């Protein structure tokens, strides 16, 4: 399992929780973009053509980059919702997408 957060304090807290729960062998904690990490783990291939993906807890200032990454990976943005400094993005897997990695 991969846990990702862009906030270093959240990563520290998650790392400590993983240690306290004794699950270091199954949970890896990293700092970085959640969208990048998910796409790197094969998320696009896991969502069937036409299927929906909802991402949330994206910092507003990073939402454009996250949306660009999703679009490059074969998702069409269908809705974005903003609340304060946070954004959620709803996307649909493009039916004619072909992964660059075959």
* Cα 33–chain centre separation: 7
Confirm whether pTM is higher than 0.95.
Answer: no
What's the Cα-to-Cα distance from 64 to each of 29, 33, 55, rounded to whole Å? 24, 12, 13
In CATH terms, is domain 46-102 a member of 3.40.50.150?
A: yes
Domain boundaries, the chain: 1-32, 46-102
Tell me how far CA of residue 31 lies from CA of 20, 21, 57, 77, in angstroms: 19, 20, 15, 25
Unique residue bearing structure tokens 């969208």: 35
What number of other Cβ atoms are within 10 A of residue 48's Cβ?
Answer: 9
Tens digits of residue pLDDT in 71-84: 988 899 999 999 99
Tens of pLDDT, residue by residue over 53-71, are 888 878 899 899 999 989 9
């Amino acid at each position: 399992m991969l846990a990702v957060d862009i906030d270093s304090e959240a990563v520290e807290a998650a790392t400590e929780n993983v240690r306290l729960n004794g699950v270091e062998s199954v949970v890896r904690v990293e700092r970085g973009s959640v969208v990048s990490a998910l796409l790197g783990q094969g998320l696009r291939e896991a969502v069937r053509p036409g299927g929906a993906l909802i991402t949330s807890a994206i910092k507003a200032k990073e939402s454009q980059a996250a949306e660009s990454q999703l679009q490059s990976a074969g998702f069409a943005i269908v809705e974005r919702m903003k609340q304060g400094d946070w954004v959620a993005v709803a996307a649909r897997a493009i039916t004619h997408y072909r992964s660059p990695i075959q």
